């Protein structure tokens, strides 16, 4: 019921914003409206060569069902630049809606209040902004998707920005306990070709009265442009939470490479490892295991507003975990995916 009301309210808010934008555009004549909009539709077909009888692809986030044409994501975003007050409203599977204010302190302190995507991780919810089509294991299991709260960003130097967030926890609108979660991010452009992003999040995430300790996650992202056509990235996560049974931990790392083939094509590779040895409840993959995966993605853009991606991915475990064509489990699953993203 709550989700239905949330969708109705979000749709209504976006419709209102859009009508305001139209009115402003008409009043301004030839002057562009200060409210802009953009969006995309993302659909795919996936085939799991293991032929799972359950028709499910374990550990996959937005492509969990085998042998199916599906709409992975659809989003429309309305944005008004903060001059000094602005906002952003996204409608999608994971909506975000927040107010932005630029406080005239020094070079400008940006304050966002509302619901927004997490500051953690190299990959994002929108596949169009990632190098590969499918999301990494780290994206789905090591970090949160979104938060509700307030965040403050300040350009300490021309190549260094710091962000502090006060949040209602992980993937929630309201908090489930009396504590707040603290998020930190430092984005440092060491060179024009190299950047280092340090992220952290710490807070009590268990519901009362089951509170034992904090959940802490540390994230390091390094990106480097080796040549004009070749970009590299590394993403590392380490997480821990004190629970009744002791200290639960999870960690992983992912390596990325993207090579651009002219103006319309690119090849992206990803290899990652993820250790879920603790099989920690809220973030458990379903077994105490060590996972790894290799993904190869070919991207083709026949037009500016269309992205087509063909992808092969092999997920592997050190235990028999993946579904197959029989009741028995397998240690790997090989999938083929064809995805199309239309932007506007």
Residues 18-60: pLDDT tens digits? Answer: 444 444 444 444 454 588 988 889 999 999 999 999 999 999 9
Torsion of CA 49, 52, 56, 62, to 10 degrees: -10
Positions in the chain short of pLDDT 50: 1-30, 32
Domain boundaries, the chain: 34-343
Q: Which long-range contacts (CB under 8 A, 24 or more apart) does 327-331 make?
A: 327/53, 330/50
Separation CA 123–CA 139 (nearest Å): 7
**HSE-up of 236 (CA within 13 Å, CB side)?**
8
Domain 34-343, CATH number (from 3.40.50.300, 1.10.3720.10, 1.10.340.70, 2.40.160.10): 2.40.160.10
Sign of CA dihedral 16, 19, 20, 21: positive
Residues 6+ apart with CB under 8 A from 276: 141, 250, 283, 284, 285, 287, 288, 289, 290, 291
SS3 127: helix
For residue 82, what pLDDT is reported?
85
Question: Looking at residue 93, what is its pLDDT?
Answer: 64
Q: Note the pLDDT of residue 194.
A: 97
pLDDT at position 10 is 43
Which H or E run includes 141? helix 137-141
- Would you say 73 and 127 are in contact if contact means Cβ atoms under 8 Å apart? yes
pTM (two decimals): 0.86
């Amino acid at each position: 019921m709550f989700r239905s009301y949330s969708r109705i309210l979000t749709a209504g808010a976006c419709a209102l914003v859009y009508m305001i934008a139209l009115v402003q555009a008409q009043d301004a004549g030839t002057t562009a409206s200060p409210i802009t909009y953009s969006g995309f539709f993302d659909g795919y077909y996936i085939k799991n060569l293991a032929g799972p009888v359950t028709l499910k692809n374990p550990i996959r986030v937005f492509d969990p069902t085998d042998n199916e044409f599906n709409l992975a994501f659809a989003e429309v975003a309305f944005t008004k630049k903060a001059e000094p007050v602005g906002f952003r409203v996204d409608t999608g599977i994971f909506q975000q809606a927040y107010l932005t204010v630029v406080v005239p302190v020094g070079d400008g302190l940006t304050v966002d209040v509302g619901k927004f995507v997490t500051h953690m991780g190299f990959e994002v919810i929108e596949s169009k902004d990632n190098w590969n089509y499918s999301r990494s294991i780290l994206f789905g299991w090591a970090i949160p998707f979104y938060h509700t709260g307030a965040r403050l960003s300040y350009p300490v130097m021309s190549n260094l920005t710091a962000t502090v967030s006060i949040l209602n926890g992980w993937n929630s609108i309201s908090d489930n306990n009396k504590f707040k979660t603290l998020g930190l991010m430092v984005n440092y452009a060491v060179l024009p070709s190299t950047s280092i992003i340090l992220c952290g999040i710490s807070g009590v995430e268990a519901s009362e009265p089951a509170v034992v300790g904090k959940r802490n996650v540390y994230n390091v992202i390094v990106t480097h442009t080796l040549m004009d056509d070749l970009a590299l990235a590394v993403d590392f996560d380490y997480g821990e939470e004190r629970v009744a049974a002791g200290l639960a931990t999870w960690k992983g790392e992912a390596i990325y490479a993207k090579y651009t083939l002219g103006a319309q094509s690119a090849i992206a590779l990803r290899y990652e490892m993820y250790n879920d040895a603790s099989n920690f409840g809220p973030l458990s993959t379903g077994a105490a295991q060590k996972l790894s995966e290799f993904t190869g993605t070919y991207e083709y853009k026949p037009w500016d507003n269309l992205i087509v991606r063909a992808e092969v991915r092999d997920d592997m475990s050190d235990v028999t975990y993946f579904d197959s064509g029989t009741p028995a489990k397998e240690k790997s699953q090989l999938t083929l995916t064809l995805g199309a993203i239309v932007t506007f």
